[in-house]
Amino acid sequence: MIEVKNIDNYIKKIAESIANEIKLKQENDQNLVLGLATGSTPIPLYDELVRLHEQENLSFYNVFTFNLDEYCGLDKSDPNSYQYFMDEKLFNRIDIPKENTHVPNGQVKSGIEVEYCKDYEQKINDLGGIDIQILGIGRSGHIGFNEPGSSVNSITRKVELHEITRKDASRDFNGIENVPTHAITMGMQTILSAKRIFFMAFGEAKREITKLAFTKEVTDNVPASHLQNHKQLTICTDFII
């Protein structure tokens, strides 16, 4: 657990841990597999990784990334798509080979979604699993888009979004009616298999659900509560839980 309560300090520490791990792998001719999140929470972290690249020569040539989720139905050129977000906030600003980056395809044809999701999962496993996972939390208690009721054994799959999640996204989409109803998400099992997890929740709006996730029972009704059982979890919040 990182013993600081200031967001900037958390960001610096997480970025430093990632950078150290990348460099260690480089020294041993190995790859690092990063699990990445979208939303407002990780933006400062991506800015700091870009700064390390630009000002401190951190290279991402040996890094593979897998994003947690993507809205169904959005083209990757849509500014609300997570592919667009990741390109803008991180991938286009560092030297990671584009073919090493993975964001679920929200436009995968119906009928082959299950196969597609299995393949996403397989790609992660073929690279030895996720070394470091970046995570936020939604007010529904979701991690990725694993909404309440998601099984701890779930893998990457198509899911229906919770009403709270769609409501929270409605500003970006100019109205809840424009927010996609479904998404593809890494599963609970996929996320919990990460060797190390950095969990971030900042701001008053996240306090209640974060408290529920970490101080009450572990239950599928609060998917983030399963993090209590993870062995290498760092919780970063700017409030007391």
- List of residues contacting ligand PGA (CB under 6 A): 39-41, 136-138
Report d(CA 9, CA 189) in Å as an integer. 30
Report d(CA 229, CA 219) in Å as an integer. 11
- 100 vs 154, beta carbon nearer ligand PGA: 154
Rg of the chain's alpha carbons, rounded to an integer? 17
Report d(CA 123, CA 185) in Å as an integer. 15
CB of 1 to ligand PGA, least distance (A): 20
CB of 13 to ligand PGA, least distance (A): 18
Task: State the Cα angle at 144 between 141 and 150, rounded to 5°.
Answer: 60
CB of 95 to ligand PGA, least distance (A): 26
- 101 vs 146, beta carbon nearer ligand PGA: 146
Q: 234 and 2 in contact (C-beta within 8 Å)?
A: yes
Q: Which residues pair with 237 in a beta bridge?
A: 201
Report d(CA 76, CA 70) in Å as an integer. 10
- 31 vs 39, beta carbon nearer ligand PGA: 39
Q: 146 and 185 in contact (C-beta within 8 Å)?
A: yes
CB of 30 to ligand PGA, least distance (A): 29
Report d(CA 67, CA 34) in Å as an integer. 8
Q: Torsion angle of alpha carbons 131, 142, 139, 83, nearest 10°? A: 60
Q: 207 and 215 in contact (C-beta within 8 Å)?
A: no
- 40 vs 153, beta carbon nearer ligand PGA: 40
CB of 197 to ligand PGA, least distance (A): 13
- 136 vs 180, beta carbon nearer ligand PGA: 136
CB of 187 to ligand PGA, least distance (A): 15
CB of 168 to ligand PGA, least distance (A): 7
- 62 vs 78, beta carbon nearer ligand PGA: 78
- 41 vs 133, beta carbon nearer ligand PGA: 41
